[in-house]
Amino acid sequence: MIELVSLCKRYGRRMAVDELTLHVDRGELLILLGSSGSGKTTTLKMVNRLVEPSSGRVEIDGRDTRDLLPHELRRRIGYSFQQIGLFPHLSVGENVAITPTLLGWEVERVATRVDELLRLMELTPEVFRDLRPDQLSGGQQQRVGLARALAAEPEVVLLDEPFGALDPLTRDRLQRSFQKIRRELELTAIFVTHDMVEALLLGDRIAVLHHGRLVQVGKPEELLRVPADDYVRELMATPRRQAAVVERFLRSESRGSENP
């Protein structure tokens, strides 16, 4: 479905993405995982031509993205990114409705889709539909950005830290909601995160980037069992440590309940 072939992005002497080749199957969620500066967001932006590659190519459904006008390409791809990018002069509902409206959807269909997605994002339409972005918290703005990315029922979705500004409980609920809708709609998605636990929970496969290069790609259990190098091993150590701490607390609680 999505092919990245020898993809490179150079800024002066610095290589932000270096000879990246990846394949994303139809209906798959591929996680791009790595620390800040690893090339995750640059890669995502090259998929929909917000950033043009220095060399290499991107294909979607067998078609080179350079054969499409950038605005035509972006209307086919849902995109939720870190900076959110809501239009400040438009209401929440109008922000979510932008792409379906540009695609010529009927007004009633657009309104129904907007309310459906706001409810999915736990934003009551009657309360939030007519608010402006500056009347929302950062987490609420992020949810509106995700709703906008899904609004036109795209086959491909690009997500850059879409749950990063949310509190843990809301983040968990929306992660589960997103997984459900992704599978129902058979979305093909590339998801950027630096959160190892999120990567393990959500990804069908995980691609680890380090200094712009692909270090390892595989299913979550493969990265946990057989890390390719010390960098991947260090990344995977974090969720292991967290799980071990929780397990110790649970064992302690269990012993306490047995000895009142």
Q: What local confidence, expressed as pLDDT, does residue 104 receive? A: 93
Reported as a single tens digit per residue, the pLDDT across 45-76 is 999 999 999 999 999 999 999 999 988 888 88
Reported as a single tens digit per residue, the pLDDT across 124-134 is 999 999 999 99
Q: What local confidence, expressed as pLDDT, does residue 84 receive? A: 66
| Closest listed residue to residue 117, CA positions, set 129, 106, 108 | 129
Reported as a single tens digit per residue, the pLDDT across 28-38 is 999 999 988 99
Nearby residues of 44 by Cβ (< 8 Å), 6 or more positions away: 32, 81, 158, 160, 190, 192
Confidence (pTM): 0.87
Q: How many Cα atoms within 13 Å fall on the side-chain side of residue 152?
A: 22
Q: What local confidence, expressed as pLDDT, does residue 142 receive? A: 85
Residue type, 5: V
Q: What local confidence, expressed as pLDDT, does residue 185 receive? A: 80
User: Which parts of the chain have pLDDT scores under 70?
Assistant: 82-84, 253-260
* Cα separation values, 182 from 82, 166, 177, Å: 20, 20, 8
- Both tokens of 67, joined, read 């054969």
